[in-house]
Amino acid sequence: MRPSAPLVRFRRAGRLGGPLTRLLVAGTVPGVVVGAVIRVFAVPGPRVFRLLVAALLLPLGLWLWLRTVRPAPARAPHPPSPRTTTTLALAVGVAGGIYGIGGGSVLGPILVGRGTPVATVAPAALASTFVTSVVGAVTYALLSFTATGDVAPEWLLGLSCGAGGLLGGYLGARLQPRLPETALRLLLGTLATGVGALYAVQTLR
């Protein structure tokens, strides 16, 4: 099993390692370390975790969906500047470190909603998620030596989720060039909204 198979596919297609990938990695890597420290020492517990995920993904998914269905008539959206992209990646990295992902699920809808093509966002977000997920897992493993409670990563669970992500990423990398931009935007918005709504319901129980 090759954990970077979707990344290899994007690289062979010449769509990996561009400026957007470098900007996202430069922001999310330090952010995920800070987020992991905040998660362990400031906001422990599953309820805060679910609430944060819902607060991030639910409005983000709805915003992307509405922005796709009813685009602003005045002017077409423009991709954010490099400085804005790195700052955004840093903030998302912190949030991703807090609730345990690399941040691609948040960065993707934001960048797509701001006008960056899905074909550009997909490999960059996947690469930044892969790198920051590894950094985040190592950070949590190191924090487990100094913090109280169950902080160390569940490696078996992580590898099981990674296997599913590997298959999904590979299929997505194959299907993405064949789907229209609008359909990809709506799918991304729907997934973000659905995950956010699921966590919101679990928080209210």
Render pLDDT for 152-193 as a digit per residue (tens, 0 to 9): 777 787 777 777 766 776 677 677 677 787 887 888 888 888
Say if residue 11's pLDDT is above 60.
no
For 37, which DSSP code? H
**What local confidence, expressed as pLDDT, does residue 13 receive?**
52
Say if residue 70's pLDDT is above 80.
no
**What local confidence, expressed as pLDDT, does residue 199 receive?**
83
At 195, phi and psi to the nearest 5? -65, -45
pLDDT category of residue 25 using cuts at 50, 70 and 90: confident
Residue 80, SS3 per DSSP:
coil
Distance CA 63, CA 82 (A): 22
CA 44 to chain centre: 21
* 88 against 95, higher pLDDT: 88
Widest CA span in the chain: 54
Count helices and strands in the chain by DSSP H and E runs = 8, 0
**What local confidence, expressed as pLDDT, does residue 72 receive?**
59
For 81, which DSSP code? P
Rg (CA), the chain: 17
62, 189, 190 from 66: Cα distances, Å = 6, 9, 10
pLDDT category of residue 3 using cuts at 50, 70 and 90: very low
At 191, phi and psi to the nearest 5? -65, -45
- The percent of residues in the chain predicted with pLDDT above 90, rounded, is 1
Contact 24, 89 (CB under 8 A): yes
* 75 against 139, higher pLDDT: 139
Say if residue 7's pLDDT is above 60.
no
Residues 17-23, mean pLDDT to the nearest whole number: 79
For the chain, the average pLDDT equals: 77
